[in-house]
């Protein structure tokens, strides 16, 4: 095993450095993620089903509209999309993971729900004036790099009808020390990262100048092949994000805290919801 190489790979990444592997499109890992998504009892890949149900009700209650055309970005296996469709709304849902979308399609067919699912990176979407509500939920907004964030906001604004709403949730600056993952390692015969033996190293980093956290994972397989994954997670103060939304044309911006129960550093007071409008 090349310890020198591993030491180099495990060092603190440069700001916005990319890993050499993509978790969402990996055939094996994407199936592990799907299992986590549809587990109703935890918040690992999706929020618990009870939280999702309550949050869907909260989102609809903050629109003041009925029978909407809704765009759900980063929809995963369709947990929100199904609830919204059951309420009579027309739903289009996009996700990068083919495994999640195929599962969502099968569930919609089984439950006789009319939902348009698309396998797509929402950075590449191209809608215009079609939706009453666009939602980007479970901190997806925070994972976007600054240029990606600006691009997505422009595309969301374009996708909305006049008077349409955009709702998202973001990590705020509270309890940052608890949001940085601790250094750890594990050895598995089979597990989340691979169905063959592997060693996985993990570490968290803070880049206060960019207001972003990084979760850094290095996975070494039995043939000493190395996969690296770096997940960036921005945090925002209201006085920073509101001007960004205004710059992209959004108005009537409202913020909400403690929408979620206060169970850990990714819930309760640690997450701020934003609702903004296209005039």
- Alpha carbon distance 95, 259 (integer Å): 24
Give the strand pairing for 115-119 and 226-234: unpaired
Q: What's residue 188's pLDDT? A: 97
Strand partners, 207: 212
Tokens of 10: 């495990």
Burial class (CB in 10 A: 0-12, 13-18, 19+), 19: middle
Q: What's residue 1's pLDDT? A: 67
Segments of the chain with pLDDT less than 50: none
CATH 3.40.50.150 in the chain, residue ranges:
39-173+235-278
pTM beyond 0.85: the answer is yes
pLDDT in tens, 127-141: 999 999 999 999 999
Tokens of 236: 């925002």
Tokens of 254: 């409202």
- Alpha carbon distance 66, 135 (integer Å): 16
- Alpha carbon distance 82, 217 (integer Å): 33
Q: What's residue 182's pLDDT? A: 95
Handedness of CA 88, 92, 98, 100 (dihedral sign): negative
Strand partners, 229: 217
Q: What's residue 6's pLDDT? A: 80
The CATH number assigned to the domain with range 39-173+235-278 reads: 3.40.50.150
pLDDT in tens, 161-199: 999 999 999 999 999 999 999 999 999 999 999 999 999
Q: What's residue 263's pLDDT? A: 82
Q: What's residue 147's pLDDT? A: 97
């Amino acid at each position: 095993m090349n310890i020198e190489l591993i030491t180099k790979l495990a060092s603190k990444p440069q700001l916005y450095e990319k890993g050499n592997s993509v978790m969402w499109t990996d055939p094996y890992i994407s199936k592990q993620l799907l299992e986590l998504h549809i587990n109703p009892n935890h918040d690992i890949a999706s929020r618990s089903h009870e939280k999702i149900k309550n949050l869907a009700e909260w989102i609809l209650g903050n629109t003041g509209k009925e029978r909407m055309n809704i765009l759900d970005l980063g929809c995963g296996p369709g947990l929100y999309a199904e609830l919204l469709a059951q309420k009579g709304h027309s739903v289009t849902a996009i996700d990068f993971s083919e495994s999640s979308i195929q599962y969502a399609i099968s569930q919609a067919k089984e439950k006789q729900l009319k939902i348009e699912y698309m396998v797509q990176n929402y950075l590449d979407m191209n809608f215009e004036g079609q939706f009453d509500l666009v939602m980007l939920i479970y901190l997806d907004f925070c994972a976007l790099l600054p240029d990606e964030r600006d691009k997505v906001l422009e595309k969301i604004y374009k996708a909305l009808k006049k008077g349409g709403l955009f709702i998202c949730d973001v990590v705020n600056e509270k309890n940052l020390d608890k949001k940085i993952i601790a250094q750890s390692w594990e050895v598995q015969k089979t597990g989340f990262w691979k169905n063959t033996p592997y060693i996985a190293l993990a570490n968290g980093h803070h880049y206060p100048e960019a207001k972003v956290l990084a979760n850094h994972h290095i996975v070494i397989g039995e043939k000493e092949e190395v996969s690296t994954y770096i997940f960036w997670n921005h945090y925002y103060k209201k006085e920073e994000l509101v001007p960004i939304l205004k710059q992209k044309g959004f108005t009537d911006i409202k913020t909400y805290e403690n929408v979620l129960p206060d169970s850990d550093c990714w819930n309760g007071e640690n997450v701020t919801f934003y609702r903004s409008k296209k005039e």
